[in-house]
Structure 1
Amino acid sequence: MGRINPKVLPGYGLSLGFTVVYLAVLVLLPLGACVVTALGMSASEFTAAVWSRRARAAYALSFGASLVAAAISTVIGLLIAWVLVRYEFPGRRLLDSLVDLPLALPTAVAGLVFSNLYSAEGWLGQFLVPLGIEAAYSRLGIVVVLVFIGFPFVVRALEPVIQSLDSEEEEAAALLGASRWQTFRHVLFPALVPSLITGFALALARGLGEYGSIVFVSGNMPYKTEIAPFLIVSRLEEGGDRVKEATALATVLLAASLLLLVVINRLEAWSRRG
Protein backbone atom coordinates (compact mmCIF):
# COMPACT_ATOMS: atom_id res chain seq x y z
CA MET A 1 0.00 0.00 0.00
CA GLY A 2 1.21 3.50 -0.85
CA ARG A 3 1.26 6.41 1.50
CA ILE A 4 -1.94 8.37 2.01
CA ASN A 5 -1.80 11.83 0.47
CA PRO A 6 -2.79 14.28 3.24
CA LYS A 7 -4.00 16.79 0.64
CA VAL A 8 -7.00 14.62 -0.24
CA LEU A 9 -8.05 14.08 3.39
CA PRO A 10 -10.60 16.63 4.61
CA GLY A 11 -9.66 18.25 7.91
CA TYR A 12 -6.17 16.74 7.92
CA GLY A 13 -4.44 19.92 9.03
CA LEU A 14 -6.95 20.62 11.80
CA SER A 15 -6.86 17.04 13.04
CA LEU A 16 -3.07 16.97 13.03
CA GLY A 17 -2.90 20.26 14.90
CA PHE A 18 -5.38 19.06 17.53
CA THR A 19 -3.42 15.83 17.97
CA VAL A 20 -0.11 17.65 18.44
CA VAL A 21 -1.61 20.12 20.93
CA TYR A 22 -3.32 17.31 22.85
CA LEU A 23 -0.12 15.27 23.12
CA ALA A 24 1.92 18.33 24.07
CA VAL A 25 -0.40 19.67 26.78
CA LEU A 26 -1.68 16.44 28.34
CA VAL A 27 1.24 14.07 27.82
CA LEU A 28 4.58 15.66 26.94
CA LEU A 29 4.35 18.76 29.15
CA PRO A 30 3.60 16.96 32.47
CA LEU A 31 6.12 14.21 31.79
CA GLY A 32 8.71 16.73 30.66
CA ALA A 33 8.19 18.77 33.83
CA CYS A 34 8.77 15.65 35.92
CA VAL A 35 12.01 14.85 34.10
CA VAL A 36 13.28 18.44 34.24
CA THR A 37 12.63 18.60 37.99
CA ALA A 38 14.50 15.35 38.51
CA LEU A 39 17.41 16.54 36.35
CA GLY A 40 17.66 19.64 38.56
CA MET A 41 19.04 17.40 41.30
CA SER A 42 22.72 16.69 41.59
CA ALA A 43 24.01 13.24 40.66
CA SER A 44 24.52 12.32 44.30
CA GLU A 45 21.05 13.55 45.29
CA PHE A 46 19.42 11.67 42.41
CA THR A 47 21.28 8.47 43.22
CA ALA A 48 20.44 8.75 46.92
CA ALA A 49 16.77 9.23 46.07
CA VAL A 50 16.32 6.45 43.52
CA TRP A 51 18.72 3.89 44.96
CA SER A 52 18.04 3.98 48.69
CA ARG A 53 17.40 0.71 50.49
CA ARG A 54 13.70 1.52 50.71
CA ALA A 55 13.52 2.43 47.03
CA ARG A 56 15.29 -0.78 45.99
CA ALA A 57 12.87 -2.83 48.07
CA ALA A 58 9.92 -1.04 46.44
CA TYR A 59 11.37 -1.60 42.94
CA ALA A 60 11.97 -5.27 43.66
CA LEU A 61 8.39 -5.77 44.84
CA SER A 62 6.83 -3.76 41.99
CA PHE A 63 8.81 -5.44 39.22
CA GLY A 64 8.84 -8.88 40.83
CA ALA A 65 5.11 -8.99 41.59
CA SER A 66 4.29 -7.57 38.16
CA LEU A 67 6.42 -10.22 36.42
CA VAL A 68 4.86 -13.07 38.40
CA ALA A 69 1.35 -11.71 37.89
CA ALA A 70 1.93 -11.18 34.16
CA ALA A 71 3.11 -14.78 33.80
CA ILE A 72 0.04 -16.10 35.63
CA SER A 73 -2.21 -13.76 33.62
CA THR A 74 -0.72 -15.17 30.41
CA VAL A 75 -1.69 -18.73 31.33
CA ILE A 76 -5.15 -17.75 32.59
CA GLY A 77 -5.74 -15.46 29.62
CA LEU A 78 -4.85 -18.20 27.16
CA LEU A 79 -7.30 -20.64 28.76
CA ILE A 80 -10.12 -18.09 28.89
CA ALA A 81 -9.56 -16.85 25.34
CA TRP A 82 -9.48 -20.43 24.02
CA VAL A 83 -12.74 -21.33 25.74
CA LEU A 84 -14.51 -18.15 24.65
CA VAL A 85 -13.50 -18.55 21.01
CA ARG A 86 -13.63 -22.33 20.52
CA TYR A 87 -16.71 -23.36 22.52
CA GLU A 88 -20.37 -22.45 22.49
CA PHE A 89 -22.16 -22.61 25.85
CA PRO A 90 -24.93 -20.78 27.70
CA GLY A 91 -23.72 -17.46 29.09
CA ARG A 92 -20.67 -17.24 26.83
CA ARG A 93 -21.40 -13.65 25.82
CA LEU A 94 -21.92 -12.65 29.44
CA LEU A 95 -18.63 -14.27 30.39
CA ASP A 96 -16.92 -12.51 27.50
CA SER A 97 -18.23 -9.15 28.67
CA LEU A 98 -17.11 -9.86 32.25
CA VAL A 99 -13.53 -10.18 31.01
CA ASP A 100 -13.44 -6.39 30.61
CA LEU A 101 -14.84 -5.75 34.09
CA PRO A 102 -11.40 -5.28 35.70
CA LEU A 103 -10.68 -2.56 33.14
CA ALA A 104 -13.90 -0.68 33.86
CA LEU A 105 -14.01 -1.22 37.62
CA PRO A 106 -12.49 1.61 39.72
CA THR A 107 -9.20 0.35 41.08
CA ALA A 108 -10.04 1.44 44.62
CA VAL A 109 -13.16 -0.72 44.52
CA ALA A 110 -11.12 -3.72 43.42
CA GLY A 111 -8.64 -3.16 46.24
CA LEU A 112 -11.37 -2.88 48.87
CA VAL A 113 -13.12 -5.99 47.58
CA PHE A 114 -9.99 -8.13 47.65
CA SER A 115 -8.81 -6.82 51.03
CA ASN A 116 -12.19 -7.64 52.59
CA LEU A 117 -12.47 -10.96 50.77
CA TYR A 118 -9.10 -12.27 51.96
CA SER A 119 -8.95 -10.72 55.42
CA ALA A 120 -9.13 -13.01 58.44
CA GLU A 121 -12.87 -12.36 58.71
CA GLY A 122 -13.54 -12.35 54.95
CA TRP A 123 -15.51 -14.91 52.97
CA LEU A 124 -12.36 -16.66 51.75
CA GLY A 125 -9.89 -15.46 54.34
CA GLN A 126 -11.68 -17.20 57.20
CA PHE A 127 -10.82 -20.50 55.52
CA LEU A 128 -7.39 -19.60 54.08
CA VAL A 129 -5.81 -17.82 57.05
CA PRO A 130 -6.06 -20.87 59.37
CA LEU A 131 -4.19 -22.81 56.66
CA GLY A 132 -1.40 -20.23 56.69
CA ILE A 133 -2.45 -18.61 53.40
CA GLU A 134 -2.63 -14.85 54.01
CA ALA A 135 -3.61 -13.01 50.84
CA ALA A 136 -4.62 -9.75 52.50
CA TYR A 137 -1.89 -7.25 53.39
CA SER A 138 0.79 -9.46 51.89
CA ARG A 139 2.78 -9.92 48.70
CA LEU A 140 0.46 -12.73 47.70
CA GLY A 141 -2.44 -10.27 47.77
CA ILE A 142 -0.53 -7.90 45.50
CA VAL A 143 0.03 -10.66 42.94
CA VAL A 144 -3.63 -11.72 43.09
CA VAL A 145 -4.82 -8.16 42.43
CA LEU A 146 -2.34 -7.69 39.58
CA VAL A 147 -3.56 -10.91 37.96
CA PHE A 148 -7.13 -9.62 38.26
CA ILE A 149 -6.31 -6.41 36.40
CA GLY A 150 -3.84 -7.95 33.95
CA PHE A 151 -5.46 -11.03 32.42
CA PRO A 152 -7.99 -9.07 30.27
CA PHE A 153 -5.09 -7.71 28.19
CA VAL A 154 -3.96 -11.25 27.42
CA VAL A 155 -7.47 -12.40 26.53
CA ARG A 156 -8.08 -9.51 24.15
CA ALA A 157 -4.68 -9.94 22.52
CA LEU A 158 -5.30 -13.65 21.88
CA GLU A 159 -8.95 -13.77 20.81
CA PRO A 160 -8.52 -12.44 17.23
CA VAL A 161 -5.52 -14.72 16.67
CA ILE A 162 -7.40 -17.82 17.86
CA GLN A 163 -10.34 -16.88 15.65
CA SER A 164 -8.03 -16.64 12.63
CA LEU A 165 -6.41 -20.06 13.10
CA ASP A 166 -6.95 -22.34 10.12
CA SER A 167 -8.92 -25.43 11.12
CA GLU A 168 -7.58 -27.31 8.08
CA GLU A 169 -4.13 -27.43 9.69
CA GLU A 170 -5.63 -29.07 12.77
CA GLU A 171 -7.49 -31.57 10.61
CA ALA A 172 -4.32 -32.39 8.70
CA ALA A 173 -2.42 -32.96 11.96
CA ALA A 174 -5.20 -35.24 13.21
CA LEU A 175 -5.15 -37.26 9.96
CA LEU A 176 -1.42 -37.73 10.38
CA GLY A 177 -2.01 -39.28 13.78
CA ALA A 178 -1.18 -36.33 16.04
CA SER A 179 -2.90 -36.18 19.41
CA ARG A 180 -4.75 -33.06 20.53
CA TRP A 181 -1.82 -32.04 22.71
CA GLN A 182 0.66 -32.55 19.86
CA THR A 183 -1.57 -30.56 17.53
CA PHE A 184 -1.77 -27.71 19.99
CA ARG A 185 1.94 -27.76 20.79
CA HIS A 186 3.32 -28.03 17.26
CA VAL A 187 0.60 -26.45 15.10
CA LEU A 188 -1.40 -23.94 17.14
CA PHE A 189 0.94 -22.73 19.87
CA PRO A 190 3.65 -21.29 17.54
CA ALA A 191 1.00 -19.04 15.98
CA LEU A 192 -0.08 -17.84 19.42
CA VAL A 193 3.39 -17.02 20.76
CA PRO A 194 3.63 -13.42 19.41
CA SER A 195 0.25 -12.48 20.88
CA LEU A 196 1.05 -14.26 24.13
CA ILE A 197 4.21 -12.19 24.46
CA THR A 198 2.30 -9.01 23.62
CA GLY A 199 -0.36 -9.81 26.22
CA PHE A 200 2.35 -10.59 28.78
CA ALA A 201 4.06 -7.24 28.12
CA LEU A 202 0.77 -5.34 28.38
CA ALA A 203 -0.11 -7.04 31.67
CA LEU A 204 3.38 -6.30 32.97
CA ALA A 205 3.14 -2.63 32.03
CA ARG A 206 -0.29 -2.38 33.65
CA GLY A 207 1.03 -3.96 36.83
CA LEU A 208 4.00 -1.62 37.12
CA GLY A 209 1.77 1.42 37.06
CA GLU A 210 -0.98 0.08 39.32
CA TYR A 211 -1.63 1.94 42.56
CA GLY A 212 -5.29 2.26 43.52
CA SER A 213 -6.11 -1.42 43.99
CA ILE A 214 -2.80 -2.42 45.57
CA VAL A 215 -2.77 0.33 48.18
CA PHE A 216 -5.74 -1.28 49.95
CA VAL A 217 -4.63 -4.89 49.83
CA SER A 218 -0.87 -4.59 50.43
CA GLY A 219 -0.65 -2.99 53.86
CA ASN A 220 2.04 -0.60 52.52
CA MET A 221 4.75 -1.74 54.93
CA PRO A 222 8.20 -0.38 53.97
CA TYR A 223 10.67 -3.05 52.86
CA LYS A 224 7.88 -5.66 52.88
CA THR A 225 4.71 -4.75 50.99
CA GLU A 226 5.40 -1.20 49.78
CA ILE A 227 5.30 -0.74 46.00
CA ALA A 228 7.18 1.98 44.13
CA PRO A 229 4.09 4.10 43.25
CA PHE A 230 3.09 4.22 46.93
CA LEU A 231 6.61 5.31 47.88
CA ILE A 232 6.29 8.19 45.40
CA VAL A 233 3.00 9.27 46.97
CA SER A 234 4.54 9.03 50.43
CA ARG A 235 7.40 11.30 49.40
CA LEU A 236 4.96 13.82 47.92
CA GLU A 237 2.90 13.91 51.11
CA GLU A 238 6.02 14.59 53.19
CA GLY A 239 6.64 17.77 51.17
CA GLY A 240 9.81 19.87 51.13
CA ASP A 241 12.86 18.26 49.56
CA ARG A 242 11.00 14.97 49.46
CA VAL A 243 9.06 16.26 46.44
CA LYS A 244 12.24 16.17 44.37
CA GLU A 245 12.86 12.63 45.55
CA ALA A 246 9.35 11.73 44.40
CA THR A 247 10.02 13.16 40.93
CA ALA A 248 13.28 11.23 40.76
CA LEU A 249 11.50 7.98 41.61
CA ALA A 250 8.77 8.83 39.11
CA THR A 251 11.42 9.41 36.43
CA VAL A 252 12.79 5.91 36.98
CA LEU A 253 9.33 4.37 36.60
CA LEU A 254 8.70 6.59 33.57
CA ALA A 255 11.87 5.30 31.92
CA ALA A 256 10.81 1.72 32.64
CA SER A 257 7.35 2.39 31.19
CA LEU A 258 8.78 3.94 28.02
CA LEU A 259 11.06 0.96 27.58
CA LEU A 260 8.10 -1.38 27.95
CA LEU A 261 6.14 0.71 25.44
CA VAL A 262 8.91 0.27 22.88
CA VAL A 263 8.98 -3.47 23.54
CA ILE A 264 5.19 -3.73 23.20
CA ASN A 265 5.22 -1.86 19.88
CA ARG A 266 7.96 -4.13 18.57
CA LEU A 267 6.06 -7.22 19.66
CA GLU A 268 2.84 -5.99 18.05
CA ALA A 269 4.70 -5.37 14.78
CA TRP A 270 6.19 -8.87 15.00
CA SER A 271 2.73 -10.30 15.67
CA ARG A 272 1.29 -8.59 12.59
CA ARG A 273 4.11 -9.86 10.39
CA GLY A 274 3.52 -13.38 11.73
Structure 2
Amino acid sequence: MGADTKERVDILGVGVDPLEVGELHRRLARAVRRGEHALFLNVNAHALNLLYEDEELRSFFGRAQVVFCDGAGVMLAARLLGRRIPERITYADWIWRLASLATAEGFTLYFLGGRPGVADEAARNLRRLNPGLEVRGTHHGHFDHRSGSPQNEAVIKQINAASPDILLVGMGMPLQERWLMENWERIDARVALTGGAVFDYASGRLRRGPRLLTDNGLEWLARLFIEPRRLWRRYLIGNPLFLWRVLGQRWRGHTHGG
Protein backbone atom coordinates (compact mmCIF):
# COMPACT_ATOMS: atom_id res chain seq x y z
CA MET A 1 0.00 0.00 0.00
CA GLY A 2 1.18 3.51 -0.75
CA ALA A 3 2.10 6.09 1.86
CA ASP A 4 -0.95 8.21 0.99
CA THR A 5 -3.46 5.68 2.33
CA LYS A 6 -3.43 7.13 5.90
CA GLU A 7 -6.02 9.73 4.88
CA ARG A 8 -8.51 7.16 3.65
CA VAL A 9 -12.12 7.19 4.77
CA ASP A 10 -13.18 3.79 6.10
CA ILE A 11 -16.59 2.94 4.63
CA LEU A 12 -17.83 -0.57 5.44
CA GLY A 13 -14.27 -1.81 5.80
CA VAL A 14 -12.99 -0.27 2.55
CA GLY A 15 -10.58 2.67 2.60
CA VAL A 16 -11.59 5.39 0.11
CA ASP A 17 -9.14 8.16 -0.82
CA PRO A 18 -10.70 11.64 -0.46
CA LEU A 19 -9.43 12.92 -3.81
CA GLU A 20 -10.21 15.68 -6.26
CA VAL A 21 -9.48 15.06 -9.95
CA GLY A 22 -6.27 17.10 -9.87
CA GLU A 23 -4.79 14.98 -7.08
CA LEU A 24 -5.92 11.78 -8.82
CA HIS A 25 -4.10 12.93 -11.96
CA ARG A 26 -0.94 13.70 -9.96
CA ARG A 27 -0.94 10.26 -8.35
CA LEU A 28 -1.65 8.55 -11.65
CA ALA A 29 1.13 10.40 -13.47
CA ARG A 30 3.56 9.70 -10.64
CA ALA A 31 2.78 5.97 -10.69
CA VAL A 32 3.33 5.79 -14.46
CA ARG A 33 6.58 7.79 -14.40
CA ARG A 34 8.00 5.67 -11.60
CA GLY A 35 7.10 2.48 -13.46
CA GLU A 36 4.99 1.24 -10.57
CA HIS A 37 2.64 -1.73 -10.84
CA ALA A 38 -0.28 0.16 -9.33
CA LEU A 39 -4.01 -0.46 -8.96
CA PHE A 40 -6.35 2.52 -9.17
CA LEU A 41 -9.82 1.21 -8.30
CA ASN A 42 -13.16 3.02 -8.06
CA VAL A 43 -16.10 2.48 -5.71
CA ASN A 44 -19.75 3.42 -5.60
CA ALA A 45 -22.54 2.20 -3.31
CA HIS A 46 -23.02 -0.94 -5.42
CA ALA A 47 -19.31 -1.79 -5.20
CA LEU A 48 -19.25 -1.28 -1.44
CA ASN A 49 -22.28 -3.55 -1.07
CA LEU A 50 -20.46 -6.24 -3.05
CA LEU A 51 -17.27 -5.81 -1.03
CA TYR A 52 -19.19 -5.92 2.26
CA GLU A 53 -20.09 -9.53 1.45
CA ASP A 54 -16.76 -10.59 -0.12
CA GLU A 55 -13.74 -10.60 2.17
CA GLU A 56 -11.34 -11.66 -0.60
CA LEU A 57 -12.28 -8.74 -2.85
CA ARG A 58 -12.23 -6.37 0.14
CA SER A 59 -8.66 -7.45 0.83
CA PHE A 60 -7.79 -6.84 -2.84
CA PHE A 61 -9.08 -3.26 -2.56
CA GLY A 62 -6.98 -2.81 0.56
CA ARG A 63 -3.87 -3.51 -1.54
CA ALA A 64 -4.73 -0.86 -4.15
CA GLN A 65 -2.58 2.27 -4.35
CA VAL A 66 -5.70 4.41 -4.93
CA VAL A 67 -9.41 3.82 -4.30
CA PHE A 68 -11.46 6.77 -5.52
CA CYS A 69 -15.10 7.74 -5.17
CA ASP A 70 -17.42 7.21 -8.14
CA GLY A 71 -20.80 7.82 -6.54
CA ALA A 72 -22.82 10.38 -4.60
CA GLY A 73 -23.78 7.64 -2.15
CA VAL A 74 -20.13 7.22 -1.13
CA MET A 75 -19.85 10.99 -0.49
CA LEU A 76 -23.02 10.85 1.64
CA ALA A 77 -21.64 7.87 3.57
CA ALA A 78 -18.44 9.78 4.36
CA ARG A 79 -20.50 12.71 5.71
CA LEU A 80 -22.59 10.37 7.88
CA LEU A 81 -19.34 8.96 9.29
CA GLY A 82 -17.97 12.43 10.08
CA ARG A 83 -15.55 12.60 7.16
CA ARG A 84 -15.52 14.31 3.79
CA ILE A 85 -14.85 13.14 0.25
CA PRO A 86 -14.54 16.29 -1.89
CA GLU A 87 -15.56 15.01 -5.30
CA ARG A 88 -17.30 12.23 -7.19
CA ILE A 89 -15.11 11.13 -10.11
CA THR A 90 -17.32 9.28 -12.57
CA TYR A 91 -15.99 7.79 -15.79
CA ALA A 92 -18.80 9.22 -17.93
CA ASP A 93 -17.12 12.60 -17.31
CA TRP A 94 -13.59 11.64 -16.36
CA ILE A 95 -12.67 9.47 -19.38
CA TRP A 96 -12.37 12.61 -21.52
CA ARG A 97 -10.07 14.27 -18.99
CA LEU A 98 -8.07 11.06 -18.62
CA ALA A 99 -7.56 10.99 -22.39
CA SER A 100 -6.37 14.61 -22.31
CA LEU A 101 -3.96 13.82 -19.48
CA ALA A 102 -2.58 10.78 -21.33
CA THR A 103 -2.13 12.81 -24.51
CA ALA A 104 -0.37 15.68 -22.73
CA GLU A 105 1.93 13.34 -20.79
CA GLY A 106 2.53 10.87 -23.62
CA PHE A 107 1.06 7.96 -21.66
CA THR A 108 -0.04 4.91 -23.66
CA LEU A 109 -3.34 3.07 -23.08
CA TYR A 110 -4.93 -0.32 -23.61
CA PHE A 111 -8.72 -0.77 -23.47
CA LEU A 112 -10.19 -4.07 -22.26
CA GLY A 113 -13.94 -4.56 -21.98
CA GLY A 114 -17.34 -3.91 -23.51
CA ARG A 115 -19.10 -5.75 -26.28
CA PRO A 116 -17.14 -6.49 -29.47
CA GLY A 117 -16.31 -3.24 -31.27
CA VAL A 118 -17.29 -0.89 -28.43
CA ALA A 119 -13.75 -0.29 -27.10
CA ASP A 120 -12.63 0.45 -30.68
CA GLU A 121 -15.40 3.03 -31.06
CA ALA A 122 -14.45 4.56 -27.71
CA ALA A 123 -10.81 4.84 -28.82
CA ARG A 124 -11.85 6.53 -32.09
CA ASN A 125 -14.01 9.08 -30.28
CA LEU A 126 -11.30 9.87 -27.75
CA ARG A 127 -8.68 10.24 -30.50
CA ARG A 128 -10.96 12.62 -32.38
CA LEU A 129 -10.71 15.07 -29.48
CA ASN A 130 -7.11 14.14 -28.63
CA PRO A 131 -5.30 13.46 -31.95
CA GLY A 132 -2.05 12.49 -30.22
CA LEU A 133 -3.67 9.89 -27.94
CA GLU A 134 -1.93 6.51 -28.22
CA VAL A 135 -4.26 3.57 -27.57
CA ARG A 136 -1.95 0.63 -28.22
CA GLY A 137 -4.71 -1.96 -28.37
CA THR A 138 -8.28 -2.90 -27.52
CA HIS A 139 -10.09 -6.13 -26.74
CA HIS A 140 -13.72 -6.78 -25.90
CA GLY A 141 -14.72 -8.22 -22.55
CA HIS A 142 -16.66 -11.23 -23.87
CA PHE A 143 -14.04 -13.96 -23.53
CA ASP A 144 -13.44 -16.91 -21.22
CA HIS A 145 -12.14 -15.17 -18.11
CA ARG A 146 -11.10 -18.32 -16.31
CA SER A 147 -7.46 -18.28 -15.28
CA GLY A 148 -5.40 -20.43 -17.65
CA SER A 149 -8.05 -20.66 -20.37
CA PRO A 150 -6.70 -20.22 -23.94
CA GLN A 151 -8.77 -17.05 -24.49
CA ASN A 152 -7.64 -15.51 -21.21
CA GLU A 153 -4.00 -16.32 -21.98
CA ALA A 154 -4.35 -14.77 -25.44
CA VAL A 155 -5.74 -11.54 -23.96
CA ILE A 156 -2.90 -11.27 -21.45
CA LYS A 157 -0.38 -11.93 -24.23
CA GLN A 158 -1.87 -9.10 -26.32
CA ILE A 159 -1.75 -6.66 -23.40
CA ASN A 160 1.83 -7.57 -22.57
CA ALA A 161 2.87 -7.18 -26.20
CA ALA A 162 1.45 -3.64 -26.11
CA SER A 163 3.03 -2.96 -22.67
CA PRO A 164 0.80 0.07 -21.99
CA ASP A 165 1.33 2.67 -19.31
CA ILE A 166 -2.36 2.43 -18.39
CA LEU A 167 -4.65 -0.60 -18.71
CA LEU A 168 -8.30 0.44 -18.50
CA VAL A 169 -10.58 -2.52 -17.67
CA GLY A 170 -14.30 -1.96 -18.22
CA MET A 171 -16.13 -5.23 -17.60
CA GLY A 172 -18.49 -4.27 -14.79
CA MET A 173 -18.34 -5.03 -11.09
CA PRO A 174 -17.21 -7.41 -9.69
CA LEU A 175 -15.97 -9.19 -12.85
CA GLN A 176 -13.33 -6.56 -13.67
CA GLU A 177 -11.96 -6.60 -10.11
CA ARG A 178 -11.92 -10.41 -9.94
CA TRP A 179 -10.15 -10.56 -13.29
CA LEU A 180 -7.48 -8.14 -12.10
CA MET A 181 -7.16 -9.95 -8.78
CA GLU A 182 -6.38 -13.20 -10.63
CA ASN A 183 -4.21 -11.78 -13.43
CA TRP A 184 -2.64 -8.46 -12.45
CA GLU A 185 0.69 -9.90 -11.28
CA ARG A 186 1.26 -11.33 -14.79
CA ILE A 187 0.34 -8.17 -16.71
CA ASP A 188 2.94 -5.76 -18.09
CA ALA A 189 1.33 -2.36 -17.46
CA ARG A 190 2.25 0.43 -15.08
CA VAL A 191 -1.27 1.21 -13.84
CA ALA A 192 -4.60 -0.63 -14.00
CA LEU A 193 -7.87 1.30 -13.80
CA THR A 194 -11.35 -0.20 -13.37
CA GLY A 195 -14.00 1.62 -15.39
CA GLY A 196 -17.30 -0.28 -15.50
CA ALA A 197 -19.36 1.03 -18.45
CA VAL A 198 -16.64 3.51 -19.50
CA PHE A 199 -16.42 2.27 -23.10
CA ASP A 200 -20.20 2.37 -23.55
CA TYR A 201 -20.13 6.05 -22.54
CA ALA A 202 -17.04 6.99 -24.58
CA SER A 203 -18.37 5.19 -27.67
CA GLY A 204 -21.69 7.04 -27.42
CA ARG A 205 -23.69 3.82 -27.11
CA LEU A 206 -24.88 4.64 -23.59
CA ARG A 207 -26.34 8.07 -22.96
CA ARG A 208 -26.29 9.80 -19.62
CA GLY A 209 -29.46 11.09 -18.01
CA PRO A 210 -30.47 14.76 -17.77
CA ARG A 211 -27.94 17.09 -16.15
CA LEU A 212 -30.53 18.02 -13.53
CA LEU A 213 -30.12 14.49 -12.15
CA THR A 214 -26.48 13.71 -12.92
CA ASP A 215 -25.19 16.98 -11.43
CA ASN A 216 -27.20 16.65 -8.22
CA GLY A 217 -26.29 13.26 -6.85
CA LEU A 218 -29.03 11.40 -8.74
CA GLU A 219 -27.01 9.71 -11.49
CA TRP A 220 -28.36 6.39 -10.18
CA LEU A 221 -31.92 7.55 -10.89
CA ALA A 222 -30.96 8.61 -14.41
CA ARG A 223 -29.36 5.21 -15.04
CA LEU A 224 -32.40 3.47 -13.62
CA PHE A 225 -34.63 5.30 -16.13
CA ILE A 226 -32.32 4.27 -18.99
CA GLU A 227 -31.79 0.60 -17.98
CA PRO A 228 -34.59 -0.30 -15.53
CA ARG A 229 -34.66 -4.06 -16.12
CA ARG A 230 -30.91 -4.46 -15.54
CA LEU A 231 -30.47 -2.00 -12.69
CA TRP A 232 -33.65 -1.97 -10.59
CA ARG A 233 -32.31 -4.40 -8.00
CA ARG A 234 -28.98 -2.59 -7.70
CA TYR A 235 -30.62 0.74 -6.92
CA LEU A 236 -34.06 0.10 -5.41
CA ILE A 237 -32.78 -2.60 -3.08
CA GLY A 238 -29.04 -1.92 -3.00
CA ASN A 239 -29.15 1.80 -2.17
CA PRO A 240 -31.33 1.47 0.98
CA LEU A 241 -29.25 -1.54 2.06
CA PHE A 242 -26.06 0.49 1.66
CA LEU A 243 -27.48 3.37 3.72
CA TRP A 244 -28.61 0.94 6.44
CA ARG A 245 -25.13 -0.59 6.61
CA VAL A 246 -23.43 2.81 6.82
CA LEU A 247 -25.79 3.91 9.60
CA GLY A 248 -24.91 0.67 11.39
CA GLN A 249 -21.22 1.52 11.09
CA ARG A 250 -21.89 5.01 12.45
CA TRP A 251 -23.87 3.63 15.39
CA ARG A 252 -21.16 1.09 16.21
CA GLY A 253 -18.54 3.82 16.09
CA HIS A 254 -20.51 6.01 18.48
CA THR A 255 -21.25 3.19 20.91
CA HIS A 256 -17.56 2.26 21.01
CA GLY A 257 -16.42 5.86 21.37
CA GLY A 258 -15.03 5.94 17.82
Specify if TM > 0.5: no
Structure with greater proportional helix content: 1
Larger Rg: 1
RCO higher in structure (CA 8 A, sep ≥6): 1
Question: TM-score if structure 1 supplies the norm length?
Answer: 0.27
Question: TM-score if structure 2 supplies the norm length?
Answer: 0.28
Structure with greater proportional strand content: 2
